[in-house]
Amino acid sequence: MQVKIDTKEKFHAITVTGPELSAVMTEELGNTLLPYLQNDGQEPGAHVKNVVLILNDIQQLDLEAAGKLVELQQKFYENSASFVICGLQKDVEEFLDKNELLELMNVTPTESEAWDIVQMEEIERELLDGDEG
Number of domains in the chain: 1
Say which CATH number the domain at 41 has.
3.30.750.24
pTM score over 0.85:
yes
Q: What is the pLDDT, as a whole number, of residue 133? A: 55
Provide CB contacts within 8 A for 61, sequence distance 6+. Answer: 20, 21, 22, 26, 92, 95
State the residue range of the domain holding 76. Answer: 2-132
75-82 mean pLDDT: 95
48-69 mean pLDDT: 95
DSSP E strand stretches across 8-114: 11-17, 20-21, 50-54, 60-61, 83-86, 107-108
How far apart CA 72 and CA 90 sit, in angstroms, is 22
Please state the separation of Cα 104 from the chain's center in Å: 12
Closest CA to 50 of 106, 102, 103: 106
2 — pLDDT class (breaks 50, 70, 90) = confident
Q: What is the pLDDT, as a whole number, of residue 40? A: 54
Helix/strand/coil for 90 = helix
Q: What is the pLDDT, as a whole number, of residue 131? A: 74
